[in-house]
Chains A and B, each alone.
Chain A
Amino acid sequence: MITTLDPHSRAAYRGWSDITIRNLFVIPTILFLIVFNIFPLLYSLGYSFTDFRASTKDPVNFVGLRNYMELLSDPNIWSNFTITAQYVIVSVSGQVIVGFGLALLLNRSFPLKGLITTLLLLPMMLSMAVVGLFWKLLYDPNFGIINYSLGLGKLEWLGDPNIALYAVALTDIWMWSPFVMLLSLAGLSAVPKHLYEAASIDRASRLYTFFRITLPLVAPILLIAIIFRTMEAFKTFDLAYVMSGQPTTEVVSIRLYKMAFQEWQTGKSCALAYIVLIMVLCITNVYVKYLNKAKER
C-alpha cells in the first residue's frame, strides 16, 4: 500500500513528508475517538465494580464482581437479552428482505427513478422518538389507520404481549429497510453488465444467475449493512420505550435506562452496560471476519 517516493524527487522536498501527512491525518481522529470513547468507558468500567449511586452522596464502596454476579444470575436480565436477540433477528432479517428486495426491483432504469429512490429514503430521515409516537397512533385499535385500512378490526398490535415485539420490529423494519436498500442498490449497480450477458448467453436460469453472480458480488456490502443494522438494533431504545410497556418488549437498553436513570444504580448499570458492550463486540467481530472473507473471495 505504501507509496515509496524517491527521497530526492521534487515532491519530497516541497511540503510535508508522507509520514507527517499520515500522522497528521490519522492520529488526531484516533485521539479524538479515544478521548470521547475510551475515557468514558474506563470511567464506567471503574464504576461497574462499585455500589456507586449518582443520586446520593453516600460513600462509594468497591464491591468486586458483585454487580456482574447479580446481573448474570438475574432471570429478568436474561429475559431482557432473549427479547433483544429476538428483536435483532426479526428486525434485521426483515430489513434485509425488504431492503434487498426493493433494491432488486429498483435495479433497472425507469422514469422518475431518482425521485422514487429519494422518497423511499424518507422513513430513515425521521427521529426515532417521533416515529415511535406516530406508529403508536397508526397501530391504535380505535382510531389507527392500519387496522382500518387493512380491515383488521380491533387487532391489538401493541396491547397483546405476544405480538407487541413484532409490532415494534415492524416499525423498525419500515424505518430502516431504506438503509439496506440503498447499500444493496449501490452494490447491485456495480455488478458488471457483461456477467449477466454471459449468463443469458449460457441460458442460465434466473435463480442460478442470482445465486451465482448477483449474491456473491453484493454480499460484502450487504454484510456491511447488516453489521450497522445489527449494532443499532442491539442497542435500540427509543422505539420500544415509546411504543410499548409490555415486559415482552423490554429490550436490554430499556432495562439499562431504568437502572441508570430512574433507579440511579449507577455502578450496577455500568456493569450491565459492559455486558452489552462485550456481546455487541463479539457479534460484530464475527461479522467483520465474514466480511473480510467475503471481500477476499
Chain B
Amino acid sequence: MAVVSSRGQRIGNLLAIAAVIVVTFIMLAPIYWIVSTSFKPRNLATTNPPTILFEPEVSPFVKLFTKRVQLKPKEVVDYENAPWFERLVFDGGERITRSGKGEIQLSGYPDRFINSLIVAITSTLLAVSMGTITAYGFSRFKVKGEADLLFFVLSTRMLPPIVVAIPMFLMYRAAGLNDSHLGLIILYTAFNVSFAVWLMKGFIDEIPKEYEEAALVDGYTRIQAFFKIVLPEAATGIAATAVFCFITAWNEYAFALIMTNRRAQTAPPFIPSQIGSGLPDWTVIAAGTFLFLLPVAIFTFLLRNHLLRGMSFGAIRK
C-alpha cells in the first residue's frame, strides 16, 4: 500500500530521526563513559576536567581477574622475569597475590561470572517455561477466580525484597538451599514467573483458538497442539519474556548478597566491592561492569526483532 507522503511529512520524519539520534547520544553517554573508563589508565579515571581522549590500556581487565595488594614503599619486585600482565599490575603500584605454592591467585570475578551465567540462564528457562504453560492454562481454560489469581500472581512482584529477606533466609537455611545455585535459581524463577505469566497471557490470548481446534480435528492431542501450534506462534512473546527475565535475574543484587557466600555468589554484589583499598579503582569497576553487560546486550540484540512484537501484554486491540 503506497502512502503518499507530503513534503511536510518528509520534513517531520527527518526532524524526528534527527531527534532520535540526539537522544540516543545523550542516553548512551553514561554507557560510553563506563566503557571508556574500562580502558583508561587508573590515574585518568577521575581528573578535573574529565579525560576524554587517552591511550587505551587492557590493565583494568588484568586487574579485574587477579587478586592484588598494593606495593609497600621500597618493596622489591621481580619486574624483569614477570609475565606481561603482571608487569601491568606492577605499573599500577600493585602486585598479584600468590598462593602458598606460588600460583597466581584469581579474583572472585571469573567464578562469580560463571555463577551468574548458570543462575540467570537456568532461572530464565524455568520462568519462561512455567510462565508460558500457566499463561496458556489461564488463556484457554476456565479457571475459577481467574482475575483474582492473576492479581495474586502480579502481587508477588510488589514486595520489597527486604520484606521477605529474613523469613526466606531462615527457610533456605532450614532447607539447605543457602549459598547454592539451586537456591538462587528457585528464587529468581519465583521473581520472574509473575512477569512471564502476564506477558505470555497477553500474547497467547492473541493467538486465534481456531488454529488449535483445527489441529485437534486433525488428530493432535491438546498437548501436541500446544507444542506444535501454540509454541511456535508464541515464539516472539517467549523471546521478549526471556529477555526481560534474563535482565532481571542477571542483575539481581539484594538476595544474591544475603543468600550466597563463596560458592554460589553472582557478580553484581562483587563488582562494586573493588573499592576496598581506600581508593576506588574506577577502571576495574568499569571493566567488570562492561564485561558483565556484554552477555545481556548480545542476548537482547539477537532477539531484538521479537522484542517489539512480543511486548503486547494482550493490551493491544486488534
Contacts and interface: CB of A to CB of B under 8 A. Distances in A.
Direct A–B contact present (CB less than 8 angstroms): yes
Interface of A: 1-3, 5, 9-11, 14-16, 18-19, 21-22, 24-26, 28-30, 32-33, 36-37, 39-41, 43-44, 47, 54, 102, 104-106, 108, 110, 114-130, 133-135, 137-138, 140, 142-145, 148-149, 174, 177-178, 182-183, 185-187, 189-190, 193, 197, 217, 220-221, 223-224, 227-228, 231, 234-235, 237-238, 242, 253, 256-257, 260-261, 266, 269-270, 273-274, 276-277, 280-281, 284-285, 288, 291, 294-295
A116 B24 contact: yes
B307 A253 contact: no
Contact of A221 (B149, B168, B316): B316
Interface in B12-61: 13, 16-17, 19-21, 23-24, 27-31, 33-34, 46-50
A44 B134 contact: no
Contact of A284 (B155, B282, B289, B292): B155
B316 A186 contact: yes
Nearest to B282: A137
Nearest to A183: B311
B21 to A, nearest CB: 8
A25 B137 contact: yes
Given A3-B140, A15-B222, A29 B197 contact: yes
A3 B209 CA distance: 9
Contact of B160 (A9, A25, A256): A256
Given A33-B194, A145-B33, A295-B315, A117 B253 contact: no
A121 B299 CA distance: 12
Contacts of B190: 32-33, 36-37
Contacts of A121: 300, 307
A29 B189 CA distance: 10
Nearest to A238: B253
A140 to B, nearest CB: 8
Given A11-B222, A32-B193, A125-B293, A5 B216 contact: yes
A28 B133 CA distance: 10
B171 A117 contact: no
B224 A127 contact: no
A189 B140 contact: no
Contacts of B224: 15
Nearest to B244: A179
B30 A280 contact: no
Nearest to A177: B27
A128 B223 contact: no
Given A47-B167, A187-B315, A221-B315, 9 more contacts: A15-B221, A40-B167, A108-B16, A114-B305, A138-B30, A217-B316, A266-B166, A269-B162, A277-B163
B50 A148 contact: yes
Contacts of B311: 182-183, 185-186, 221
B284 interface: no
A94 to B, nearest CB: 13
Contacts of B34: 134
Main DSSP-derived SS at the A contact region? helix
Interface string B301-314: 10011011111110
Nearest to A222: B315
A133 B273 CA distance: 11
Contacts of B279: none
B79 interface: no
Contacts of A19: 141
Interface string B233-248: 0000000000000010
Contact of B156 (A1, A24, A33): A33
27 contacts: A2-B141, A21-B223, A22-B140, A22-B143, A25-B136, A26-B137, A29-B197, A30-B153, A36-B187, A43-B171, A106-B20, A110-B13, A117-B304, A121-B300, A126-B289, A127-B251, A130-B292, A134-B286, A148-B50, A182-B308, A183-B313, A186-B312, A186-B316, A221-B315, A223-B315, A228-B157, A269-B162
Given A3-B209, A217-B316, A189 B193 contact: no
Interface string B109-146: 00000000000000000000011011011111111000
A221 B198 CA distance: 12
Given A21-B223, A186-B308, A217 B136 contact: no
B221 A14 contact: yes
Contacts of B193: 29, 32-33
